[in-house]
């Protein structure tokens, strides 16, 4: 995890997670992201996600 300064002066937490891209894994990621939003009053945009294949 790292904290990133945004151009508008706000900060974002950059969190990385290794996982597969099957349906179950993506559903689990979505549920975890929603839980983080609720627990910490943050917004998850999900668009910084990078998928790679080995």
What is the pLDDT, as a whole number, of residue 17?
Answer: 85
Q: What is the pLDDT along the chain (54 residues), one digit of tens a residue?
A: 888 888 998 888 888 888 898 999 989 988 998 898 899 888 877 766 555 555
pLDDT confidence of residue 54: 53
* DSSP string for residues in the chain: -EEEE-TTS-EEEE-------SHHHHHHHHHHHHHHHHHHT-----TT------
**pLDDT score for 51:** 53
What is the model's pTM? 0.67
């Amino acid at each position: 995890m790292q904290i990133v300064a945004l151009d508008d002066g706000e900060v974002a937490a950059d969190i990385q997670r290794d996982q597969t891209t099957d349906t179950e894994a993506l559903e689990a990621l979505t549920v975890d992201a929603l839980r983080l939003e609720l627990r910490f009053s943050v917004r998850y945009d999900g668009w910084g996600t990078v998928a790679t294949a080995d």
